[in-house]
Amino acid sequence: MRVLVIEDDDEMADAIGVGLRRSAMTVDVAYHGADGLLLAVTNDYDVVVLDRDLPGVHGDDICAALVQSSRRTRVLMLTAAATMDAQVDGLDRGADDYLAKPFDFPVLVARIGALLRRAQPAIPPVLRRGGVELDTTQRCASRDGRALDLAPKEFGVLEMLLAAQGRVVSAEELLARVWDDAADPFTQAVKVTMSRLRAKLGAPALIETIPKAGYRMGGTS
C-alpha cells in the first residue's frame, strides 16, 4: 500500500508518516500544497491523506486535480473544521472520506485500509498460497502454521506476490509499490529484500525468479 501525506504541520505530518510506516505502508510526505500536488499527479498512490488548508495550493484544488485525472487514488481529507457542512462540502468536492482533527491514529489507519479496499480490485483479507497465509488486516503472516517475523518491506513484497495470484511481478513494480518516492531506481533493495524473504519463508522455495521479467509466487492457492 502506497500512501501520500500532504500536511503543512511538519510535526503532525512526520508523526503520521512514522505511524503508517510502522503499519507496513509505504509513505511519502509533502509539507506544501504545490509539492503535494506534484507528487500526487506524478506517482501512483493508493490513498492520499490530504490536509484541506494548505499553503501554496489549497487541498480542495489538489482533490479536484486528482478527480479530474481519473486516477484510482482515494482521498482522505483532514481538516480542523468538524461541522457537518464542512464534511459535506469536502465530500462534494470529490474526497472519498473525511476526518476531523484531532483524530485517533487507529481510526486513521482503519479509514486508510477501508479506502484501499475501494481503490483496487477486491483483495481477500487473507491471502494464501503454497502453505503461506498473510492476513492483510492484522498485518501478520505464517507458513504452514509457523509465524513469520517480517520487516515492513518483506511483508509488502510478500503481499504483492500473493495478491498477484501467480502473475509475474517485476522488480520495477515492487520498487514503485513497496518503496517510497526517494528510492533509487538502480538500488539493489528489491534483490536484498527478496533474499531475506526467501530465507524467512524457508524450504521448499516458493518465490521463483523469472529472468528479465521479475518474480512469481509458486505453489497453489
User: Kindly report the CA angle at 204 between 198 and 207, in degrees rounded to 5?
Assistant: 40
State residue 157's pLDDT score: 93
Residue predicted with more confidence, 98 or 133: 133
State residue 95's pLDDT score: 83
pLDDT tier at 84 (50, 70, 90 boundaries)? low
CATH of 126-217, one of 1.10.20.10, 3.40.640.10, 3.50.50.60, 1.10.10.10: 1.10.10.10
State residue 92's pLDDT score: 63
Q: Where in the chain is the domain with CATH 1.10.10.10?
A: 126-217
User: Would you say residue 155 has pLDDT above 90?
Assistant: yes
Mean pLDDT across the chain, nearest whole number? Answer: 86
User: Would you say residue 90 has pLDDT above 60?
Assistant: no
8-12, 73-77, 112-116: the lowest-pLDDT one: 112-116
Cell numbers given for 129:
498460497
182-216, pLDDT tens digit by residue? 666 567 888 899 999 999 999 999 999 998 889 99
Q: Which residues contact 185 (CB under 8 A, 6 or more apart)?
A: 172, 175
Q: Where in the chain is the domain with CATH 3.40.50.2300?
A: 2-119
State residue 83's pLDDT score: 60
pLDDT tier at 11 (50, 70, 90 boundaries)? very high
Q: Is the CATH number 3.40.50.2300 carried by domain 2-119?
A: yes
**What residues form DSSP beta bridges with 26?**
2
109-149, pLDDT tens digit by residue? 988 888 876 655 556 678 999 899 999 878 899 999 999 99
Residue percentage of the chain with pLDDT more than 90: 43
Query: How many Cα atoms occupy the beta-carbon half-sphere of 164 within 13 Å?
Result: 21
Handedness of CA 192, 139, 207, 204 (dihedral sign): positive
